[in-house]
């Protein structure tokens, strides 16, 4: 009957008879809120399968959908704002705000800085929304707590990035209504929250070896301990850092790959050294590629040609006699590419050599010619926590506690793999500096360098970065006075005085984006100096 009344002729007919006396056919006509492309959150989260798949797709947001705002910042801030890398690409016109970051002329309006802030919080919002959905789902408690543990690890990862970039930030652990503003917590409060979340997660999560093959990408207890170890290191809680690292080391779930180059093979996926990695696929639909590979491959190699290594970094390998990691970290203009028999003379950025700042590109993120997918969608996984990192955390934490033998044992494992001998007589500051240098050589172009320089203190208790940058910084002096590098000194489109504007009173943290200060109605306050 209802159907009949919806027919236009019915309405016409009834209109002729009785003008306004029929509301019967109106009711359902207005209730059409569902459409084919959106599922109401309030109606979802009812089965274990729904909660499980929702948890898994959340992994996509650890780097915001592999979107380049976040990945770009990881290398722009983590590497190019350090002594490891230049922006590199002086060919394309549009990167003034990139240079503002790497040259420390950044202001609070910088769009790169702003993008990273926004996307990290968006990821956190998606994790929070899923956590809330699963929390109230009518499913068994074991599944529920496991999914929640995974999501809290993902959230902690994003907060760790927030706190090391900007210091204490607003701690948002649920979905709030749109008019809410939340003031910044202290860095310690943020770290404490992460430590508590990760400890709880580590207790619930399975070991990596306990996951079935297709689930190897999921968060394991080892990953939770590894991130905890790193967080303790950043908070200078050496004893806990050592203990957390030992949890990973003693689990026997992880070991170093025999050959350093194996890690950077295009087909490397979730191997024994990998503690946590972002999965990518070169499928066309859905498209799930890795933006890191686009960013750092030269234009000739199907990428955008950003972030080229400094001669300062190359010199560090040369000084250490480290020929293995040198070629697996840096591709050198005109030289053969490690692991790619089809590329005997590396073509730099692919743009004129004079437009490349250093002629050195990252090998770690290079895609060998024969392995490039036909559809152009580059998709090696992005390792973001690996066992070598854990060993270096252990070595550093032990060195700082003067547990010389333990520190040397972990350091030796790292050096042994790349055929370097370890001076077993090291101790004190010498040992600490050796571990720090090793961390640079091992982890270059993995996005940690700036944050290491910021947290490391020298013998006088000053951040190490203060002596590298600034008008009299060692890196600045090297570039402006010592260096004779043919690329760097000739191409001044990217300034050779990079880092001279560094001010230790300001630049140990990035500015809170101006627009965030506005969006928070003044509740969120700016970092000192900006």
Peptide bond between residue 286 and the one before it cis (omega within 30 degrees of 0): yes
- Of residues 302, 307, 306, the one with CA closest to residue 367: 302
Residues 204, 145: contact at Cβ < 8 Å? yes
Distance between CA 169 and CA 208 in Å, rounded? 31
CB of 121 to other proteins, least distance (A): 5
- Closest to other proteins by CB, 138 vs 286, is 286
CB of 282 to other proteins, least distance (A): 10
Specify the residue for token string 């639909």: 285
H or E segment and range at residue 61: none
- Closest to other proteins by CB, 12 vs 459, is 12
CB of 528 to other proteins, least distance (A): 15
> Token digits for 157?
């990862």
Specify the residue for token string 């809330």: 132
256 contacts: CB under 8 Å, gap ≥ 6: 273, 387, 388, 391, 413, 414, 417
Residues 52, 45: contact at Cβ < 8 Å? no
> Token digits for 507?
């630049």
- End-to-end Cα separation, the chain, in angstroms: 69
- Closest to other proteins by CB, 31 vs 252, is 31
- Closest to other proteins by CB, 84 vs 90, is 90
- Closest to other proteins by CB, 61 vs 232, is 61
CB of 301 to other proteins, least distance (A): 8
23 contacts: CB under 8 Å, gap ≥ 6: none
- Closest to other proteins by CB, 107 vs 140, is 107
243 contacts: CB under 8 Å, gap ≥ 6: none
CB of 116 to other proteins, least distance (A): 11
- Closest to other proteins by CB, 156 vs 432, is 156
Distance between CA 308 and CA 327 in Å, rounded? 14
CB of 513 to other proteins, least distance (A): 8
CB of 421 to other proteins, least distance (A): 37
> Token digits for 94?
């549009």
- Closest to other proteins by CB, 94 vs 250, is 94
What is the dihedral sign for C-alpha 100, 161, 247, 251? negative
CB of 315 to other proteins, least distance (A): 26
């Amino acid at each position: 009957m209802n159907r009949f009344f919806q027919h236009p002729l019915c309405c016409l007919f009834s209109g002729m008879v009785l003008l306004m006396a029929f509301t019967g056919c109106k009711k359902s006509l207005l209730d059409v809120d569902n459409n084919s492309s959106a599922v109401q959150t309030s109606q979802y989260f009812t089965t274990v399968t729904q909660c499980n798949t929702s948890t898994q797709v959340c992994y996509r947001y650890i780097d915001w959908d592999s979107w380049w705002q976040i990945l770009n910042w990881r290398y722009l801030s983590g590497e190019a704002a350090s002594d490891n890398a230049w922006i590199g690409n002086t060919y394309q016109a549009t990167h003034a705000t990139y240079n503002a970051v790497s040259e420390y002329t950044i202001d609070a309006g910088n769009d790169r800085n702003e993008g990273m802030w926004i996307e990290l919080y968006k990821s956190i919002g998606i994790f929070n929304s899923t956590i809330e959905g699963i929390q109230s789902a009518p499913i068994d408690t074991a599944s529920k707590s496991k999914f929640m543990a995974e999501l809290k690890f993902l959230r902690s990862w994003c907060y760790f990035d927030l706190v090391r970039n900007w210091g204490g930030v607003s701690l948002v652990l649920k979905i709030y209504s749109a008019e809410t503003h939340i003031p910044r917590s202290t860095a310690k409060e943020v770290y404490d929250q992460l430590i508590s979340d990760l400890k709880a997660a580590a207790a619930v999560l399975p070991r990596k070896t306990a996951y079935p093959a297709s689930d190897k990408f999921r968060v394991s207890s080892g990953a939770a301990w590894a991130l905890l170890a790193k967080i303790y290191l950043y908070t200078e809680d050496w004893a806990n850092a050592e203990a957390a690292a030992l949890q990973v080391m003693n689990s026997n779930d992880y070991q170093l790959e025999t050959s350093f180059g194996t890690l950077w093979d295009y087909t490397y996926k979730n191997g024994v050294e990998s503690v946590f990695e972002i999965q990518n696929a070169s499928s066309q639909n859905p498209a799930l590629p890795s933006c890191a590979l686009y960013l750092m491959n030269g234009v000739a190699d199907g990428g955008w040609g950003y972030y080229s290594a400094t001669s300062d970094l190359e010199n560090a390998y040369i000084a250490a006699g480290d020929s293995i990691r040198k070629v697996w970290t840096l591709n050198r203009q005109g030289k053969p590419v490690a692991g790619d028999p089809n590329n005997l003379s590396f073509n730099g950025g692919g743009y004129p050599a004079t437009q490349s700042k250093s002629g050195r590109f990252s090998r770690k993120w290079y895609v060998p010619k024969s392995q490039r997918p036909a559809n152009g969608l580059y998709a090696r996984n992005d390792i973001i926590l690996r066992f070598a990192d854990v060993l270096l955390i252990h070595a550093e934490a032990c060195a700082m506690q003067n547990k010389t033998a333990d520190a040397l044992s972990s350091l030796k494992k790292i050096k042994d793999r790349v055929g370097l001998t370890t001076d077993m007589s090291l101790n004190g500051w010498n040992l600490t500096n050796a571990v720090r240098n090793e961390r640079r050589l091992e982890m270059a172009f993995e996005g940690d360098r700036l944050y290491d320089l910021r947290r490391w203190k020298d013998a006088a208790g000053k951040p190490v970065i203060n002596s590298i940058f600034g008008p009299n910084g060692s890196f600045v002096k090297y570039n402006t006075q010592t260096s004779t590098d043919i690329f760097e000194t000739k191409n001044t489109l990217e300034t050779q005085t990079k880092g001279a504007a560094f001010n230790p009173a300001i630049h140990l943290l990035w500015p809170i984006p101006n627009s965030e200060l506005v969006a928070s109605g003044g509740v969120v306050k700016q970092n000192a100096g900006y």
